[in-house]
Chains A and B, each alone.
Chain A
Amino acid sequence: MTWRDVIRLAARTVRRRPGRAVLTVLAVTLAAALLTALLTISTTAETRVLEQLSSGGPLAGIKVAAAAPDPGQVDQDNAAPGAAKALDDTALTQISDLPDVRDVVPIVSSKVYVITPARDRDNHRIGPFFEDLVGVDLTKVSQLPITPVAGRLPSPGATSEIAVTQGYLERLGLQRVDAPQVVGTPLQMATPQVVDDGGQFRIRGRWVKVTIVGVVAQEAGDGQFLASSEMVQQARDWARAGVNQSRDLQLSTSPYTGLFVVARGIDNVSKVRAQITAIGYSTSAPENLIASVRRYLHVVEIVLSSVGIIALVVAALGISNAMLAAVRERRREIGVLKAIGARDRDVYRVFLLEAGTLGFVGGVLGTIFGWAIAEVVGRVVNGYLAAQRLVGVKLTLPWPVVVGGIVGSTLLALLAGTLPAVRAARLPAREAVGGG
């Protein structure tokens, strides 16, 4: 009996018992759908992180400091000893030219004196305070560890718009959920300058009115205010135009406060860090955090896969049970097959193919259904992310999941069909005949 004949006979026999076939296929479909949906969701989650790691972005970023390394930053800081070295355009060019560097974003900051009209929870006025104003090239914000929480980011080049961090909210006694309350609030900021007034030093300020346009979570630099690099540069220029600036106002002599270096993928972060250290700067990167996140995602994937596989195994047991029942019901038919010359292995192949057909059909339907479930889940997640002003996820159905779902279902069904097929093959040919 050729395989073609076996396949045809198996397919016809499956079709002959549509009720049982549909129920059995349904079990496999649901299991394969569960497996596909779970794997698609977990793979999409991992892909989103890995995408950022592999194609650059905040997670593949390295913070370069002008200052000497901080020994307290164990495990993240590259604690190579050395004197502080200014971060200037030469350093920026040097680092940009490194082979595995995708982009370099300079970061500047300036000390500002802030007057806020806000009141705390007890309705007391918040007194004026000094804080750092961090400036970045806002056209490259996607490369930086900056995430909007409420409102929007300041416009690139704007000199009257700022965003505040959660630290500012805490200063006001607010929670993250209260972030929208501060959006639109005006602030007055003064950049101090030391002037020589007839032999006496006094401080004067350059006052600007700014509006809080958004709340962000940012790790580009230390400071509760984020603005365009142009705005901060103006403040720095004003402060540096004074006298004795570096001592009294602790102004940095470095043109840039720091650099945010984006490596070409997570695998290059260590190498780039070493190269930057060799140039003479201190670096830090969240490599250990990334590794932990990847491990966590991998564990989640294993757990979700296990749930799907358990469901598939249960479905396979259903196939086995249905096939065993079919063998019991079709004893005479099996006997007739043998009476007309079928060998044991012919009968074995027919029953095995029947089980395989159920598994294959269930696998195909389950993969399609699972993708649909993942789509629905993806839309719900994207709705949530949009509400959080975060970028949505793009659902990806990996080919290994498609192939694995279909091939896995088929193989499991074949495995489940082995026992019934063996039993069918071993049935004696006399089953074809009634009692004598």
Chain B
Amino acid sequence: MAAVAGASVEIRDLHHRFASRAGVVTVLDGLDLDVTAGGYVALVGASGAGKSTLLSVIGGLEPAQSGSVVIGGQDLGGLSRTDLATFRRETVGFVFQHFGLLEALTAAENIELACSLARVAPAARRAKVRELLEAVDLADRARHRPVQLSGGERQRVAIARALANGPSLVLADEPTGNLDDASTARVVALLESLPAEHGCTLVLGTHDLAIAERASRRLRLRGGRAVEETAPAAVNAIAGAAPTGPPGQQARR
């Protein structure tokens, strides 16, 4: 598979609030975040800390209420709904905890759907589907519907779909939340290989510290902000950049 250039992530002063019966809940409160192109960042935090919200904002699923979000040099704040759809189609690959496969379609068709949204020619998309299914080791499951697949297999199909249009940024939201240990290991290995094999940036939200510790960088969402938990040496080694503050301070990478 041809590698693509990863997309950098630059977030400044991001605020996000939800209205609930109990009142307004502040999820993100002046969050700053930098992820270099091709990086692998794990977001950790308690439930409700804002991992999914942050991933939604980064992926253009949800507009930023205030602050700026720049992905691969593109400011999402100025994009229309149609432009955002194009951004998601061309730049981002999503992997959800619930897999997000369409039950009416087979594994191959789920992957092909992403290609068809990008108007890839039928012959090319069939070849792409074959290639991706082989990459996730599910070539023999192409005609199976999601209900006929195990949780781990579904998530591998979802990863294949996320890669269908050669994204420069892959966002995974609790991708192993519904998987057993064996499947978790396989899915994590597959995800971890993406930056190296596909050149894309990977941002993974999880509450599983064991998985997060395997990431190049680990950021904890606390109080609406992202706090660096990675050892400075490791950060320097991964990013190849000048060291910043010690773990616990606001992430600037």
Interface residues of A (CB under 8 A from B): 1-2, 5, 9, 12-13, 15-16, 332-333, 335-344, 346, 428-430, 432-436
6 new A-B pairs (CB below 8 Å) besides A340-B117, A344-B85?
A: A339-B59, A340-B94, A340-B162, A341-B86, A434-B98, A434-B173
Flag if A428 contacts B62 (CB, 8 Å).
yes
Flag if A343 contacts B85 (CB, 8 Å).
yes
Give the contacting residue for A339; candidates B54, B94, B116; CB below 8 A: B94
Q: How far is the CA of A337 from the CA of B119 in the complex (A)?
A: 15
State the 4 A-B residue pairs at the shortest beta-carbon distance, nearest first. A341-B89, A436-B52, A436-B53, A336-B100
Flag if B55 contacts A342 (CB, 8 Å).
no
CB-CB nearest in chain A for B50: A436
B interface size (C-beta, 8 A)? 45
Selected interface stretch from B2-10, B101-109, B126-134:
B101-109
Flag if A432 contacts B94 (CB, 8 Å).
yes
Total number of A-B contacts with CB less than 8 angstroms? 106
Q: How far is the CA of A205 from the CA of B53 in the complex (A)?
A: 116
Q: How far is the CA of A432 from the CA of B162 in the complex (A)?
A: 14
Flag if B114 contacts A340 (CB, 8 Å).
yes
Question: With contacts A429-B84, A435-B52, A436-B54 known, is A2 near B119, CB below 8 A?
Answer: yes
Flag if A342 contacts B59 (CB, 8 Å).
no
Question: With contacts A333-B102, A341-B89, A341-B165 known, is A2 near B61, CB below 8 A?
Answer: no
Q: Does B49 contact A (CB under 8 A)?
A: yes
Give the contacting residue for B96; candidates A15, A337, A432; CB below 8 A: A432
Q: Which A residues are CB-close (under 8 A) to B222?
A: none
Question: With contacts A1-B117, A339-B61, A341-B117 known, is A434 near B52, CB below 8 A?
Answer: yes
Q: Does B223 contact A (CB under 8 A)?
A: no
Within 8 A of A (CB), among B160-182: 161-162, 164-165, 173
Question: With contacts A1-B117, A436-B53 known, is A339 near B82, CB below 8 A?
Answer: no
Query: How far is the CB of A345 from the nearest CB of chain B, in Å?
Result: 8
Show 25 residue pairs from A and B whose CB-CB distance is below 8 angstroms, ordered by the A residue: A1-B117, A1-B119, A9-B105, A13-B102, A335-B61, A336-B94, A336-B96, A338-B85, A339-B61, A339-B92, A340-B88, A340-B117, A341-B118, A344-B81, A344-B85, A429-B62, A430-B56, A432-B61, A432-B96, A433-B55, A434-B96, A434-B97, A434-B98, A434-B173, A436-B49
Q: Which A residues are CB-close (under 8 A) to B113?
A: 5, 9, 340
CB-CB nearest in chain A for B105: A12
CB-CB nearest in chain A for B165: A341
Query: How far is the CB of A339 from the nearest CB of chain B, in Å?
Result: 5
Q: How far is the CA of A428 from the CA of B56 in the complex (A)?
A: 11
Q: Does B60 contact A (CB under 8 A)?
A: yes
Q: Which B residues are CB-close (under 8 A) to A339?
A: 59, 61, 88, 92, 94, 96, 100
CB-CB nearest in chain B for A347: B85
Q: Does B156 contact A (CB under 8 A)?
A: no
Q: How far is the CA of A13 from the CA of B102 in the complex (A)?
A: 9
Query: How far is the CB of A336 from the nearest CB of chain B, in Å?
Result: 4
Query: How far is the CB of A424 from the nearest CB of chain B, in Å?
Result: 14
Q: How far is the CA of A435 from the CA of B82 in the complex (A)?
A: 24
Q: Which B residues are CB-close (under 8 A) to A5?
A: 113, 116
Query: How far is the CB of A269 from the nearest CB of chain B, in Å?
Result: 63
Flag if A430 contacts B61 (CB, 8 Å).
yes
Within 8 A of A (CB), among B71-86: 81-82, 84-86
